[in-house]
Amino acid sequence: MELLKQMCESHAPPGYEDEMIKLMKREFERVGASVQLDKLGNVIAKKGEGRPIVMITAHMDEVGFVVKHIDKDGFIWFIPIGGLYDPTIYNERVVLHGKEKVYGVIGSKPPHIMEEEELKKLPKWKSMFIDVGASGKKEVEKLGIRVGTPITFDREFKRLNENVVTGKAMDDRVGCRVLVDVMERVKDFKGTLYAVATVQEEVGLKGARVSAYRIKPDVAFVIDVGFAKSPGSEEKEIDTELGKGPIITYVEARGAGLISDPYLTKWLTEVAKKERVPYQVDVTTGGMTDGAVIAITGEGIPCVSIGVPCRYIHSPVEVVDIRDVRNTSKLLVKAIERGVPEVFPV
């Protein structure tokens, strides 16, 4: 739990993942893996030698913002980086990563002076700004804040009950936690196991493309978050839940994302049944993972997407069940130790 807390409270917007890079390097080395960083910033951990070559991945970056403009009064205008829903960022606390960490709040026009028609509309990010308490542009610049300064949510990791926790960046720090756990627990595997903590997933799956090209694995497992139902979502849209186990996703984004390899997927579900690991299955109409680019790297890589159920994805209050994180780790450890089969059709 403490390591997941450290991960979620680290700040790693796309392209500025340094805090998570250092943390993942430290943790991979702690569990006895050899570690390398590539030129883009992916953290690549390795154990074993020979074939098969198995790659498991999760991304380090989180949705955030970047400074677009600082006005004469010291208010900071920004653009979102990654898929943020405008109402979820309204009046949130943020951290601006200048020379030091600078804390601010996202403000907007007060409702007291809005026209009736304005009050009926959902807030848009273009009407929002960040207030760091400065009295002018020069004061902001003295804080080391410039156009291009990255920004993240300012949220603490909190336990809601014995099993359920909330915080920012559960997407995909839960996956990063699984990577460390799997690298620590896999003992009996004849082959090479790579765990890759990728960068820039939220802005085009960029790190995964680079790492898959470098490693050329025989198979890949992508760990990310998956949808968990909550009020407002119909069962026909989302029927996967917190506490019911990892989600094996057959199809992402109506096929625009990863279509998980059917042979590898069938084998993985059989492992889950034999090892009595609870699991769920899903197909999604939106959202995709690093698997979308890994699968089409080189001559093609059989790949499966595994999601930790999560509520309120891409918000500062994402919610997960720790039991799902543990069962995701358990499923991968059992699958890898059983030995990855040939997954190509005969």
Longest CA–CA span in the chain (Å) reads 70
What stretches of the chain adopt beta strand conformation (E)? 34-37, 43-48, 53-59, 64-70, 76-81, 93-97, 101-107, 129-131, 150-153, 158-159, 164-167, 192-198, 219-227, 247-251, 280-283, 303-310, 318-321
Which residue of the set 62, 92, 201, 318 is catalytic? 201
Distance CA 175, CA 154 (A): 21
Distance CA 149, CA 96 (A): 7
Name the strand (E) or helix (H) holding 178: helix 170-185
DSSP letter at 311 equals B
Distance CA 254, CA 300 (A): 20
What is the number of alpha carbons within 13 Å of residue 285 lying toward its C-beta? Answer: 3
- List the one residue out of 106, 337, 312 whose CA is nearest residue 229: 312
Distance CA 196, CA 208 (A): 8
Mark whether 139 is an active-site residue: no
Distance CA 317, CA 305 (A): 23
For the annotated catalytic residues, the residue numbers are 201
